[in-house]
Amino acid sequence: MRHEWKSFKITLILYTIVFILPLVFSFVHYAFDTMRSDTKIVRQSSWIGGAIEAVILDPKITINSFYLSKIDTALNQVSSWVAQNNDSNYYIGTKTLSEDFYQINMCWNDIKKFLDKNDFSVLRSEGVKCWNTTNHFSIIVEKMVYLKQNKIINSFYLSLLLMMLFTIILIYFVRAYIDSQLKKHAIYDLETNLFNKKYLMSQLDILCARSVRTKEPLSILSLYINVSETERKSIRKHVFEMFGGLIISLTRTSDVACRYDSNIFSILLPETNKQNALILENRIRETLINHDFMTQNKVEFKFSTIVFDTKETKEELIERTRNESIAIKKGFHSFLKIFAKTFVETKEKKMKYGSSGFSIQLKDIENINLSPTISIPSEIYPNFYSFSRIPIGPSSFTSKPPYTQSIANLGATLGQNSILENIINNNK
């Protein structure tokens, strides 16, 4: 079974986020719980100083033993916090946090001794020292908690930022994956609203099989559109949109108009013979040439039409269609001009007609820069309504079976030498 690794990776990332979320919530809970307990310690340390001051100013309050026990309880709670934060980097005192708290405990124990002895004269002087020590300690605790909470808040915002960035990156990858899957499984070209190459190949399978089974003709019309590179990108996009709309309006619902390449389009014409396909080709040519595409430079079009031979395979038809597309894209007329010019100027030439076709030997052919096999469009030759696959060698221009018959028919119609004369006369 073939695994979709991209989908697996994205799913793994999603699961990772699911597992990370509890950790994030745990951190948030820890942060807020720490801030709550630290804030409570700040309040208690400040309250201890105020309570000691109240004892100094009004010793009679000590008659209420519950009040003294509250101070002892507060000191016990603060002592546990001091033990946890004794080595904290946020300490701003001159000694250590435990030493500062030890001094508070000592002075508070002294105050309780003076209260037991009712020695109020010493109580006031010692009480002021204890209050100063407690007040100093509460300031240190407050500053420590502020710095600690400030770091927690910064860490929280940093983690939130990282989570947002991670989520954005994940959304981007998920979107890119979905987009790639849409393109992978889509059948339309979004720029022209025509079918894409993948759909063309799938329909070619069906139509070729149907043509072989029913013996009905199948034609393929290929178009090459050339929009100048000097045009703005928006203009070029608009041209292709208009082009796609025109093709849709000119074809039947049974026809399959597809974008084969960036500038090459193919139209599958089921139940259409060569003659009717050429009628459609001329109608499309006339419409496109007369249409105003609102460009600064003229939009160029090239056409070719081939008919499916039921004796050939789908792969051979695709290869022939591909070669035809290459030929019209590279400009076969330019090749014919070079051929005609070279033939006229060549002194040494030999023409030989045989049962298997004809051969023209040329030693001085130059600038032939096409693929080994091309198809000559019928528009090059008047009254020639079929295509010939013509292999091109370094010094020969030949035609061989199974395309001999069409050439022989043309020769019978126009004369043995008229093929070459027609090329020369039309492409000088």
At residue 387, does pLDDT exceed 90?
no
Neighbours of 337 (CB within 10 A): 17
Instruction: Identify whether residues 366 and 277 lie together within a single domain.
Output: no
- pLDDT tens for 351-385 read 433 333 333 333 333 333 333 333 343 333 333 33
Whether 103 and 192 map to the same domain: the answer is: no
Q: What is the pLDDT of residues 262-283, one digit of tens each?
A: 889 999 999 999 999 999 999 9
Who wins on pLDDT, 54 or 215?
A: 215
Are residue 235 and residue 140 in the same domain, yes or no?
no
User: Could you write out the DSSP letters of every residue in 327-384?
Assistant: HHHHTHHHHHHHHHHHHHH-S-EEEEEETTEEEEEES------S-SEEEE-GGGSTT-
Please, where are the H alpha helices in 118-273?
120-185, 197-214, 233-250
Decide if pLDDT at 72 tops 70: yes
CB 403 within 8 A of CB 388: yes
| Long-range CB pairs of 150-159, under 8 A, 24+ apart, other chains included | 152/31, 152/34, 152/35, 155/31, 156/27, 156/28, 156/31, 159/24, 159/27
**Short-list 324, 326, 333, 287, CA closest to 305:** 324
| Together in a domain, 300 and 378 | no
Residue 420 has pLDDT above 70, yes or no: no
Instruction: Examine the domain organization and report whether 231 and 349 are in the same domain.
Output: no
Sort 150 into a burial class: Cβ within 10 Å, 0-12 / 13-18 / 19+: exposed
Percentage of the chain lying above the pLDDT 90 cut: 21
Q: Can you tell me the distance from the alpha carbon of 274 to that of 386, in angstroms, rounded to the nearest whole number? A: 8
What's the pLDDT score for residue 379?
Answer: 37
Q: Is 172 exposed, middle or buried (0-12, 13-18, 19+ CB in 10 A)?
A: exposed
| Listed residues 166, 182, 198: the one ending a domain | 182
Do 166 and 193 share a domain, yes or no? no
CATH number of the CATH domain containing 241 = 3.30.70.270
For the chain, what percent of residues have pLDDT higher than 70? 72
Among 302, 329, 356, where does a domain finish?
329
Domain count, the chain: 3
pLDDT at 54: 81
Amino acid at 165: L
b/e map 268-294, b = 16+ CB within 10 Å: bbbbbebeebbebbeebeeebeeeebe
Q: pTM value?
A: 0.44
Same domain, 362 and 403: yes
Shared-domain flag, residues 260 and 158? no
Range of the domain at 252: 187-329
Say whether both 258 and 209 belong to one domain: yes
Query: 279 and 207 share a domain?
Result: yes
**In angstroms, rounded to a whole number, what is the distance separating the alpha carbons of residues 333 and 331?**
5
Same domain, 36 and 176: yes
Q: What is the mean pLDDT of residues 230-239?
A: 89
Task: Tell whether 168 and 72 lie within a shared domain.
Answer: yes
Instruction: Read off the pLDDT of residues 276-331 as tens digits, 9 standing for 90 and up.
Output: 999 999 999 999 999 999 888 889 898 889 999 888 888 888 888 777 766 666 65
